[in-house]
Amino acid sequence: MKKPAPARPRAKSRKAGAAPEILERLGTTYPGARCALDHRNAFELLAATILSAQCTDKRVNMVTPALFAAYPTPAALADAGQDDVERIIRSTGFFRSKAKSLIGMARALVERHGGEVPCDMDALVQLPGVGRKTANVVLGNAFDVNEGIVVDTHVGRLSRRLGLTRHDDPVKVEQDLIPQFPRERWTMLAHYLIEHGRAVCDARKPRCGECPLHDLCPSASTVSR
């Protein structure tokens, strides 16, 4: 009888308690890391983050100047025609659903929050088009509130490669990361991981030889082959 394949063990960092060292090295490597979405206030960041779903930050930044020129406030966007918003944001993809979310979000801000973006996770995720990731982006970058950790594709991929999690689900990845890093650094941790994912730890061809985390990464000897 054929023996069943052994269960794959959870990846472990080569150095016990590597999370603080990972954070320190990434901070040294990317001292200028910040949110890549251009914005001047919480409303603009909220709208830009909604647009960033399945779209690059670069493309969003090409679209938002026209969007915010036409609709500079929640009240203005709340009164917008969906066709007009769709025309502006078309190049970001999924433009119909995004336009609906943007207008719905703006109307909710006007009706429930006096036209202001709430600084509260529970209130944010009740807005149309806003999930936990978007709320974390807004809280951390517009209000300097570390309520959670933004988990995008880069953060998830690097967290798995570094042995910080074994999960694919962003919520479970966030739950694994939170106890490993100091709360006051949660927002910056995401910025560092995103920068590193773009610059070195590519999804298909990571440049492990250039990585400042090479000696801490349990995947370095496998993904770089």
Residue 221 confidence (pLDDT)? 73
What is the per-residue pLDDT across 157-170, written as a single tens digit (0 to 9) for each? 999 999 999 999 99
Residue 9 confidence (pLDDT)? 38
Q: Give me the residue label for tokens 């773009």.
A: 198
Residue 13 confidence (pLDDT)? 46
Residue 223 confidence (pLDDT)? 66
At residue 151, the 3 state secondary structure works out as coil
What is the per-residue pLDDT across 98-157, written as a single tens digit (0 to 9) for each? 999 999 999 999 999 999 999 999 999 999 999 999 999 999 999 999 999 999 999 999
Report the pLDDT averaged over residues 208-214. Answer: 97
Catalytic amino acids? 133, 152
Q: Give me the residue label for tokens 């006007």.
A: 110
Residue 15 has pLDDT above 60, yes or no: no
The CA-CA-CA angle for residues 41, 60, 143, to 5°, reads: 25
CATH of domain 19-32+148-223: 1.10.1670.10
CATH architecture of the domain with range 42-142:
Orthogonal Bundle (1.10)
What is the per-residue pLDDT across 16-65, written as a single tens digit (0 to 9) for each? 489 999 999 999 999 999 999 999 999 999 999 999 999 999 999 999 99
User: Over the chain, what is the mean pLDDT?
Assistant: 93
Looking at beta carbons, which pairs linking 132-136 to residues 24 or more positions away fall under 8 Å?
132/170, 132/171, 132/174, 133/170, 134/46, 134/49, 134/50, 136/190
Residue 171 has pLDDT above 50, yes or no: yes
Q: Where in the chain is the domain with CATH 1.10.1670.10?
A: 19-32+148-223
Are residues 196 and 186 in contact, defined by beta-carbon separation less than 8 angstroms? no
Distance CA 20, CA 198 (A): 21
Residue 222 has pLDDT above 70, yes or no: yes
What predicted TM-score, i.e. pTM, was given to this entire model?
0.89
